[in-house]
């Protein structure tokens, strides 16, 4: 299909009455600001016309490092409709990181927060970027000033399904950031399939409280709502109390596990509060089974956990309704990431490249219309990450059980090989988390003169609990094979996490690197 611009597909799903509310944005003072569907269409048209006026080459990168706002979402839509490539950047990135991304991606336009214009524009102009605009959270900045002079009518630029729509830099929890190139076809196929698999309803209302520089908030959440013509209640930042207060007006919530943990910490969370909700989705990082169970007990809702990544968008999901492919199975099972999504191939292979049987742990490999076109300007790296028969190696280690459910047990880079034996961090962490007084834990591998590598456990105690690292190790010795038992155990206040709630194991590994040298 020549006209495969993702924006056209989203636009086609807007309700007939464009004056209806598309986004209710909750301002910092708690007041609501309402954006209609017409506002999204016209606001993004103005920005698309501004981009068109710059006469950029087709497929130019538009790098965006701004705080979350509805206008920032419009800029994403404007980039799609003008046929350019959206490049969202985490607002936490500092100058060394921005220098890397700008040098690597060579954007034609950079949009940054007004307060960052000084240093960002310096980097950008030195690297030959032609245009630097600002966009503030309070609807200020040169981007909006300039866009205001442009027409609010814009003809969507035709794109083919394999034309690039976005580049998402992986956050680099396992190494240097790589730009995953996602096409209009990748994004649309995934969004259209999730609309069906998650059973989006005509009266759904999404609470959007995730950042929009990442696959979860930008693609899964925004595409989900727009492709269903569903309004969003939009929070620039996640505040448990404010978000929970709106459960009564919404039906769908998407979060990373830490958001659920924070809501559970509020004693007011109960069945009544969540009665109007239809679906709670979790992903981006593994959800502890305790969190899954506690949510069910407190709210009556079974969280739907799904699994995906920047390179592929969504891959597997627990069922939302009975899945005919798996004997009409409808159970959402905690600790698993569910079934392969329709149209997505997910398989488990051993290091020798051979398929593994149900229950055997190996490398998760995937294939489908959602799988990215490769890493930006890294053809060798891209080639390395695909198997000979064209499947993408996710770098995740896991298994599929006899009923078809997938479980992730870790990432291949986090796998610890101790004295020749494989230690899967997720397995050991699950045992540690079950011990009295433990809230959560992380197991990392560090160099060891005899074993090559050994596990070091880092443990966060429950509030008020006294936990002794030595005692933890002793209890593990009675439950686990010796090669799996960590050699040291440290008790800390919290684990280092990135903004998506992922534990940054690289930082922990660096910290304990010299333990045995
Ligand atoms: N439900 C889930 N359970 C367990 N892990 C998950 C789940 N959802 C996502 N993940 C993990 O997140 C990864 C994808 O995250 P993302 O694409 O943001 O990369 P990253 O971790 O931020 O960066 P990098 O790939 O550089 O480490 C998956 O490969 C998987 O390890």
Q: Is 411 in the pocket of ligand 1 (CB under 6 A)?
A: yes
The predicted structure's pLDDT at residue 136? 97
> Could you say which architecture CATH assigns to the domain 416-512?
2-Layer Sandwich (3.30)
pLDDT of 168-187, one tens digit each? Answer: 998 666 567 899 999 999 99
pLDDT of 419-476, one tens digit each? Answer: 878 888 988 998 999 999 999 999 999 998 888 899 999 999 999 999 999 999 999 9
394 CA: nearest ligand 1 atom: 29
How many A from CA of 308 to the centre of ligand 1? Answer: 7
Tell me which of 142-146, 408-412, 471-475 is least confident.
408-412
Q: Mind giving me the DSSP string for 49-73?
A: HHHHHTTPPTT-EEEEE----HHHH
Q: Name the one residue in this structure whose structure tokens are 């209609």.
A: 36
- CB neighbours of 379 closer than 8 A, spacing ≥ 6? none
Nearest to residue 491, comparing CAs of 441, 451, 425? Answer: 441
Q: Is 218 in the pocket of ligand 1 (CB under 6 A)?
A: no
| Mode of pairing for the β-strands spanning 232-235 and 206-208 | parallel
Residue 197 — left, alpha, or beta (φ > 0 → left; ψ -120 to 50 → alpha)?
alpha
Mutate to test the pocket of ligand 1, among 190, 216, 413, 502 (most ligand atoms within 8 A of CB): 502
The predicted structure's pLDDT at residue 176? 72
The mean of the pLDDT values for the chain is 95
Mutate to test the pocket of ligand 1, among 218, 284, 364 (most ligand atoms within 8 A of CB): 284
Give all strands of the β-sheet with 339-340 in edge-to-edge order. 32-36, 21-26, 232-235, 206-208, 252-255, 279-282, 304-309, 313-317, 339-340
Q: Is 283 in the pocket of ligand 1 (CB under 6 A)?
A: yes
Distance CA 346, CA 338 (A): 11
Mutate to test the pocket of ligand 1, among 219, 291, 408, 498 (most ligand atoms within 8 A of CB): 408
| Mode of pairing for the β-strands spanning 304-309 and 21-26 | unpaired
Cα distances (Å, whole numbers) of residue 98 to 91, 112, 128, 376, 415: 10, 11, 14, 16, 30
The predicted structure's pLDDT at residue 175? 63
pLDDT of 67-88, one tens digit each? Answer: 999 999 999 999 999 999 999 9
Give the closest residue (by CA) to ligand 1 atom 25: 170
Is pLDDT of 57 > 60?
A: yes
Is pLDDT of 241 > 70?
A: yes
The predicted structure's pLDDT at residue 39? 98
On the question of a common fold for 1-13+33-160 and 416-512, the answer reads no
How many A from CA of 437 to the centre of ligand 1? Answer: 28
Q: Is 173 in the pocket of ligand 1 (CB under 6 A)?
A: yes
214 CA: nearest ligand 1 atom: 18
The predicted structure's pLDDT at residue 237? 94
The predicted structure's pLDDT at residue 171? 63
Query: Domain coordinates of the chain in residue numbers?
Result: 1-13+33-160, 416-512
Distance CA 93, CA 65 (A): 8
CA atoms within 13 A on the CB side of 391: 18
Average confidence (pLDDT) over 270-277: 98
Q: Are 345 and 366 in contact (CB under 8 A)?
A: yes
Does domain 1-13+33-160 fall into CATH 3.40.50.980? yes
Distance CA 139, CA 33 (A): 11
Tally of CB atoms within 10 A around 412: 15
The answer, yes or no, to whether ipTM is higher than 0.85 is: yes
- CB neighbours of 317 closer than 8 A, spacing ≥ 6? 194, 197, 198, 304, 305, 306, 307, 337, 338, 339, 341
How many A from CA of 248 to the centre of ligand 1? Answer: 31
Distance CA 219, CA 54 (A): 27
The helix/strand/coil state of 162 is coil
pLDDT of 289-345, one tens digit each? Answer: 999 999 999 999 999 999 999 999 999 999 999 999 999 999 999 999 999 999 999
Distance CA 158, CA 160 (A): 7
Q: Is 170 in the pocket of ligand 1 (CB under 6 A)?
A: yes
How many A from CA of 447 to the centre of ligand 1? Answer: 24
Q: Is 172 in the pocket of ligand 1 (CB under 6 A)?
A: yes
Report which DSSP code applies to 479.
Answer: T
């Amino acid at each position: 299909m020549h006209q495969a611009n993702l924006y056209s597909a989203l636009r086609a799903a807007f309700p007939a009455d464009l004056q209806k509310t598309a986004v209710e944005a909750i301002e910092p003072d708690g007041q609501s600001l309402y954006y209609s569907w017409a506002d999204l269409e016209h606001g993004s048209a103005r920005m698309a016309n501004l981009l068109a006026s710059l006469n950029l080459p087709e497929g130019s990168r538009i790098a965006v490092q701004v705080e979350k706002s509805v206008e920032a979402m419009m800029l994403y839509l404007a980039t799609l409709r003008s046929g350019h490539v959206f490049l969202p950047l985490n607002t936490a990135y500092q100058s060394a990181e921005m220098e890397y991304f700008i040098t690597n991606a060579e954007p034609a336009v950079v949009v940054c927060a007004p307060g960052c214009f000084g240093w960002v524009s310096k980097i950008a102009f030195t690297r030959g970027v032609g245009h630097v605009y600002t966009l503030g959270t309070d609807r200020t900045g040169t981007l909006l000033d300039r866009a205001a002079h442009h027409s609010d009518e814009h003809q969507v630029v035709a794109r083919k399904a394999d034309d690039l729509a976005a580049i998402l830099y992986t956050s680099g929890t396992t190494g240097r950031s790589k730009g995953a190139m996602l096409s209009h076809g990748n994004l649309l196929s995934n969004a259209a399939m999730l609309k069906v698999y998650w059973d989006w309803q005509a009266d759904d209302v999404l609470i959007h409280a995730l950042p929009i520089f990442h696959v979860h908030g930008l693609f899964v959440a925004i595409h989900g709502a727009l492709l269903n013509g569903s309004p969003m209640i939009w929070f620039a930042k996640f505040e448990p109390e404010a978000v929970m207060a709106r459960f009564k007006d919404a039906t769908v919530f998407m979060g990373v596990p830490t958001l659920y943990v924070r809501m559970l910490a509020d004693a007011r969370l109960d069945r009544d509060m969540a009665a109007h909700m239809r679906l709670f989705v979790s992903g981006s990082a593994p959800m502890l089974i305790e969190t899954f169970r506690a949510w069910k007990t407190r709210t009556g809702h079974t969280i739907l956990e799904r699994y995906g990544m920047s390179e592929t968008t969504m891959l597997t999901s627990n069922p939302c309704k009975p899945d005919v492919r798996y004997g009409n199975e409808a159970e959402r099972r905690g600790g698993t990431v569910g079934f392969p999504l329709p149209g997505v191939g997910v398989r488990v292979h051993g290091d020798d490249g051979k398929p593994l049987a149900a229950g055997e742990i190996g490398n998760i490999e995937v294939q489908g219309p959602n799988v990215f076109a490769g890493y930006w300007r890294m053809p060798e790296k891209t080639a390395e990450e695909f198997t000979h028969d064209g499947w993408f190696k996710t770098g995740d280690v896991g298994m599929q059980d006899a009923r078809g459910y997938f479980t992730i047990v870790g990432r291949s880079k986090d796998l610890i090989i101790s004295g020749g034996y494989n230690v899967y961090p997720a397995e050991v962490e699950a045992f540690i988390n079950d011990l009295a007084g433990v809230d959560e834990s992380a197991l990392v591998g560090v160099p060891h003169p005899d074993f090559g590598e050994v596990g070091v456990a880092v443990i966060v105690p429950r509030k008020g609990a006294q936990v002794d690292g030595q005692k933890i190790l002793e209890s593990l010795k009675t439950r686990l094979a010796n090669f799996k038992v960590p050699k040291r155990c440290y008790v800390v206040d919290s684990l280092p996490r990135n903004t998506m709630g992922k534990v940054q194991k690289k930082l922990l590994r660096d910290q304990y690197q010299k333990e045995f040298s």
